[in-house]
Amino acid sequence: MTVSADRKRQRTASPSRKHKGPQVLFVALLLTACKGGGDTAFNYSSPYSPPAPVLNTVLTAVSSFVPSSLVASFDGIADTLLTTDVRYTNQIYSNWSIVLDDGSTVSGLNTNPLRHSGVAFAHAAGLTGVGQTVVLADTHINENHEVFSGKPGGTVSLATSNTALGADKGENDHGTTVAAIIGGQSSSFIGVAPGANIIFGAYTTDQTLTAATNAAINSNAVAMNNSWGYDSTFVSTDSYQIIFSGVSGQAYLNALRNYANQGVVVFAVSNNTAHTHSTIMDALPYVDPSFEAGWLAVANGVPSFSGGNISSVQLLSAGCYEAARWCLVADGTWAHGPSATDGSNVASNTNYDWGTGSSFAAPQVSGALALLAEAFPQLSPHDLRVRLMASANNKFFTPDDTVELVAGFNKGYSFTYGLGYLDVRAALQPIGPTAMALANGSTLSADLPILQSGSAMGDAVATSLSRIDVAVTDSLNAGFNLKGGSLASSSAPTPLATSLLSKALTRDLASLRTDASGAIADPFAAFNAPTLAVNDPYGDFAATVLLSTPGDDTFGLSVKRALIDGPTKLELGVKVARDGGAVIGFGGNNGEAASSLAALQLGLTQDLGEGGFLSLSGELGLADLGSQAALSNVSSAGFNSVKLDIGSHGVFTDNDRLAFGVSLPMAVTSGSAEMILPVAHSSGISFDPVQLDLAPSDRQVDLALSYQREILPGLEMTMQLVHAENYGNRAGETDTAGVWALKYAF
């Protein structure tokens, strides 16, 4: 191309540029915006998804940052079990009444223990308590009842001599039902932990209790269930000395102490609703605090719900009282429990019957400990006890006091309802803030994405991380798997409707209509910050400043030179900028790292004759991304952008412009980084280097249709419609918007 040396003297400047002055705006707007491939809300940062419950593969999430979470899917499976599986529906008992020991009558009760306790959620997730052992001390147990025939791997064995079916059939009902609630399973019944091993021992004497307790020690049982007590012996130091007097009493006390040091003793509170104090066994830590770390008391209560939340609980037993700091409430009403006899009082291995009491609430807690032991193998029984207490639902009462379950973690409790209602579902999910350990010994919060990538990277970082699961822990040191993609999010680009409106209000529409502004008209199109453009009177040189906004470390400068040869206009430019992380850098909830970038720009505007024109622009650049807390080996990032407009002037009038456009907005094309993360494998956890590809596989593509015309001298009208695929360089995201505006300049 040959450029005339005296071109300036030959050219007449555009009238719209001669006397640029203040502008008065008359704007009418028609804006539309829609989005696909994700949420209905216009937010491409994607809402954070909490870690999926439970270490290893028991409850590992299948995806992250999605509206339908893993927990919701297990809730759906649980609801199907609860409404269609006879083993669960058999336990529903509606609109019943009972006369309590204090003489009052309670009616309109609706019980469903497998739903109310959250146990069905655990079953939906595949937890059965397999590999765990629970010991129970009771009267008799009929190990031949069919309720134990369907146990998936779990066994029923004896710690001491056992009396099977005999004359005392009522006694057989109690122990058999307690054992079944802990871990029974048949075609019509399912217990809390059907995969757990059950060891039975009688509570009839100090010696049998000692033998049962030693069996719990020797089998490393997670819980020892005691659905019995000294109903008229209230907690006191005198009661303590009487109950554990003599050689046999001391032997039992020592066995209890040894087991409570490693496992969890579970005691049912009294069923006598007239009581106003705890009895000695459920409140034993009240007089001997050394037992508290391994002790739980359980009351019987039926919850009422409002909007899916527990609004109140009707106690059918005594309250927690002196045992309140280690007491839970569970639904101890089972409509279909194993019975020792049929309706004619004939011994039976197949019959079932109704029953309620704290005796049937306590084994739910014991079975729940077995479920948690399977889910969290790295936690001790004492840790699991704390977990059940911390997750108990206490929203239906105003706490009377608080207890510090672990350092820094306090829980409100009621003297009546203890720490609240048993909630296995909540116990299987993170409790309190979650954190991820790094190889250097530091930790990062995992409650929000730790890394935010700029919109030019799109979903590249999240895609790279989505191939792994990382290990995180909650406030109670329970381990969970978090989908790696949850560690990253990308900056949400400005909605197209907002961007189109901003450009309609701020750009020189007359110059745009006549192509006087050139192909490189918006060098900082990818940035959300305001710009200030300066042009020389003849249009040979132009500069655009990207302005910094409060709290943002973004600024930049673009300079271009135009060369014109007849119908051809060539523009050469250079752009430098600093980005705070919104476009081509990193940020996150652990700090931000600004990036520096530089790019060469090229623009070509060609008059095609008879009003037709072609405008082509592009840029090619590099960015120094700096670093961020969890990143290492961060390379420079290459990026580019391309825009093509084809159209015509004078389509309907002498002063209009119609154009069709296609563009690839700014996107990273090369670059890498590394994160050393605690990767969860089937065999364990190891700190592995995870490679990050910074270039999105699906970059944004914009299709545009625009029309401009001069209505009157100085009065410009513009209409524009834009559709974007893979908006924000995120696969599957779309946006569409339109704008109509009038602008008057004088």
pLDDT for residue 345: 80
pLDDT band per the 50, 70, 90 thresholds, residue 64: very low
Q: Evaluate if residue 111 carries a pLDDT over 60.
A: yes
Token output for 544: 């655009």
pLDDT band per the 50, 70, 90 thresholds, residue 746: low
* β-strand pairing of 488-490 with 451-453: parallel
* β-strand pairing of 223-226 with 264-268: parallel
* pTM across the whole model: 0.80
Token output for 300: 């019987």
d(CA 365, CA 573): 72
Q: Cβ atoms within 10 A of the Cβ of 713, count?
A: 12
* β-strand pairing of 479-483 with 488-490: unpaired
Q: Which of 233-247, 583-597, 724-738 has the lowest average pLDDT?
A: 583-597
Residue 663, C-beta contacts closer than 8 angstroms, at least 6 positions apart: 641, 642, 643, 644, 701, 702, 704
Query: Between helices 358-375 and 381-391, what is the axis angle to 10°?
Result: 120
pLDDT for residue 50: 37
Phi and psi (nearest 5°) for 677? -125, 155
Domain ranges of the chain: 7-44+491-745, 71-427
Q: Evaluate if residue 671 carries a pLDDT over 50.
A: yes
Residue 744 burial (C-beta neighbours within 10 Å; 0-12, 13-18, 19+)? middle
pLDDT band per the 50, 70, 90 thresholds, residue 494: confident
* β-strand pairing of 105-111 with 93-99: antiparallel
Query: In this predicted model, what pLDDT tens digit does every residue of 469-483 receive, in sequence order?
Result: 899 888 999 988 888
d(CA 562, CA 571): 4
- DSSP letter (8 states) at residue 37: S
pLDDT for residue 160: 60
Q: Evaluate if residue 161 carries a pLDDT over 70.
A: no
CATH topology of domain 71-427: Rossmann fold (3.40.50)
d(CA 737, CA 205): 81
Q: Evaluate if residue 162 carries a pLDDT over 90.
A: no
Token output for 539: 């249009």
Torsion sign, CA atoms 251, 283, 197, 382: negative
Helix then strand then coil, in percent of the chain rounded to 5, is: 25, 35, 40
Cβ burial 508-540 (10 Å sphere, 16+ → b, else e) = bbbbbbbbbbbbbbbbbebbbbebebebeeebe
* Mean residue pLDDT across the chain: 85
Helix (H) / strand (E) containing 172: helix 169-183
Residue type, 210: T
pLDDT for residue 96: 95
Beta bridge partner(s), residue 623: 597, 637
pLDDT for residue 593: 65
Q: Evaluate if residue 59 carries a pLDDT over 90.
A: no
Q: Which of 52-61, 362-371, 568-577, 580-589 has the lowest average pLDDT?
A: 52-61
Q: Which of 185-189, 191-195, 344-348, 562-566 has the lowest average pLDDT?
A: 344-348
Query: Are the C-beta atoms of 659 and 645 separated by less than 8 Å?
Result: yes
Over residues 399-414, the mean pLDDT reads 94
Minimal CA–CA distance to 330: which of 388, 409, 275, 285? 388
Minimal CA–CA distance to 419: which of 313, 332, 279? 313
Q: Evaluate if residue 231 carries a pLDDT over 70.
A: yes
Minimal CA–CA distance to 183: which of 229, 139, 221, 228? 221
Q: Which of 93-102, 587-596, 649-658 has the lowest average pLDDT?
A: 587-596
Phi and psi (nearest 5°) for 574? -135, 140
How open is the CA angle 541-543-544, to the nearest 5 degrees?
Answer: 150
More confident residue, 153 or 378: 378
d(CA 116, CA 640): 57
pLDDT band per the 50, 70, 90 thresholds, residue 72: low
Residue 619 burial (C-beta neighbours within 10 Å; 0-12, 13-18, 19+)? buried
Residue with tokens 């059940």: 388
Residue type, 511: S
Query: Between helices 358-375 and 169-183, what is the axis angle to 10°?
Result: 30
Percent of all residues in the chain with a pLDDT value above 90, rounded to a whole number? 59
Phi and psi (nearest 5°) for 92? -80, 130
Over residues 215-228, the mean pLDDT reads 97
pLDDT for residue 588: 53
d(CA 455, CA 730): 9
Query: In this predicted model, what pLDDT tens digit does every residue of 289-324 receive, in sequence order?
Result: 999 999 999 999 999 999 889 999 999 999 999 999
Grouping H, G, I as helix, E, B as strand and the rest as coil, residue 683 is: coil
Minimal CA–CA distance to 689: which of 473, 434, 465, 483? 465
d(CA 253, CA 265): 12
Q: Evaluate if residue 553 carries a pLDDT over 60.
A: yes
How open is the CA angle 442-446-447, to the nearest 5 degrees?
Answer: 140
- DSSP letter (8 states) at residue 145: S
Query: In this predicted model, what pLDDT tens digit does every residue of 4-51 receive, in sequence order?
Result: 333 232 333 333 333 333 444 444 444 444 444 433 222 223 333 334
d(CA 396, CA 373): 28
How open is the CA angle 408-409-414, to the nearest 5 degrees?
Answer: 135
Residue 182, C-beta contacts closer than 8 angstroms, at least 6 positions apart: 134, 136, 191, 192, 193, 196, 198, 225, 363, 366, 367, 370
Helix (H) / strand (E) containing 365: helix 358-375
Q: Evaluate if residue 587 carries a pLDDT over 80.
A: no
pLDDT for residue 361: 98
> What is the residue-wise DSSP string for 366-404?
HHHHHHHHHH-TTS-HHHHHHHHHHHSB-TTS--SEEEE
Q: Cβ atoms within 10 A of the Cβ of 286, count?
A: 23
pLDDT for residue 513: 80
d(CA 392, CA 369): 13
pLDDT for residue 143: 84
- DSSP letter (8 states) at residue 351: -
Q: Evaluate if residue 677 carries a pLDDT over 90.
A: yes
Q: Evaluate if residue 569 carries a pLDDT over 70.
A: yes
Beta bridge partner(s), residue 93: 111
Token output for 624: 């120094």
